[in-house]
Amino acid sequence: MKKLFKEIKENLKKQKNNLPFITIAGIMVGVLIIFMGKYFSGETSTVYGEDQLNSKTTEVSSTEEEYKEKIEKQLEDILSQIDGIGKVDAMVYIKSGEEKVPVYNESASANTTEETDSSGGKRTTNQNNTGNSVVVGNNGSSSEPFIKRVDAPDITGIVIVAEGVNDEYKRATLVQTVCNLFDIPSSKVNVHPMKSN
């Protein structure tokens, strides 16, 4: 690097009125300073490929247990309000944590080539290329993907133990209520009567 600066300095002394050379040297020094600044500041620009992103979007949230407890509490509160139902305990099973769905920049191109050989034969070649990358924005000193939406954890099953569900009508009412609330099939909802003390 010192050698480069010495050469520039010597050429400037030899050719004092060479404006194009001075302009090019100035541009080179400017570009060098920009690259050196980024290198030493630790700044990086990242575009996540689809493979890298898949590992990031399925992260299990640290608030997974809080989410589960919140749903269970709300479920217990609302179901105990139903006429003829007493105390309710609920347990919710979830598949995984929340999933962050990023914004993708999608690109597609199509190319058709027709060739004719010397004997009159024709050949047509079609080429289609598609690709996508995650849209990334700078957030202070780091780059983060833009998030389109955050999907709540998938509920895979619910167990309810409640007072007053000894008859089939009340049991069916609880099952139908839970199925409608969480948009899950009745096969994933179990309702059982609570033991009497």
Residue 52 confidence class, pLDDT cut points 50, 70, 90: very low
Q: What's the whole-number average pLDDT of the chain?
A: 77
Instruction: Spell out a b/e string for 55-66, using b for 16 or more CB atoms within 10 Å of the CB, else e.
Output: eebeeebeeeee
Calculate Rg over the CA atoms of the chain.
Answer: 33
For 74-82, the CB contacts below 8 A with 24+ separation are 75/158, 75/160, 75/178, 75/181, 78/177, 79/160, 79/162, 79/174, 79/177, 79/178, 80/162, 82/170, 82/173, 82/174, 82/177
Residue 176 confidence class, pLDDT cut points 50, 70, 90: very high
116-170, pLDDT tens digit by residue? 888 878 888 888 888 888 888 887 778 888 888 887 888 889 999 999 888 899 9
Which two tokens mark 17? 């009125």
Q: Would you state the pLDDT for residue 91?
A: 92
Is the pLDDT at 101 greater than 90, yes or no? no
Residue that wins the pLDDT comparison between 19 and 169 = 169
Q: Percent of the chain having pLDDT more than 70?
A: 70
Residues in the chain: 197
Q: Would you state the pLDDT for residue 135?
A: 80
Q: What is the mean pLDDT of residues 15-31?
A: 64
Least confident segment among 45-54, 86-95, 99-108, 154-163 = 45-54
Residue that wins the pLDDT comparison between 18 and 57 = 18
Is the pLDDT at 38 greater than 80, yes or no? no
Give the integer Cα–Cα distance in Å for 153 and 160: 19
**DSSP letter at 196?**
P
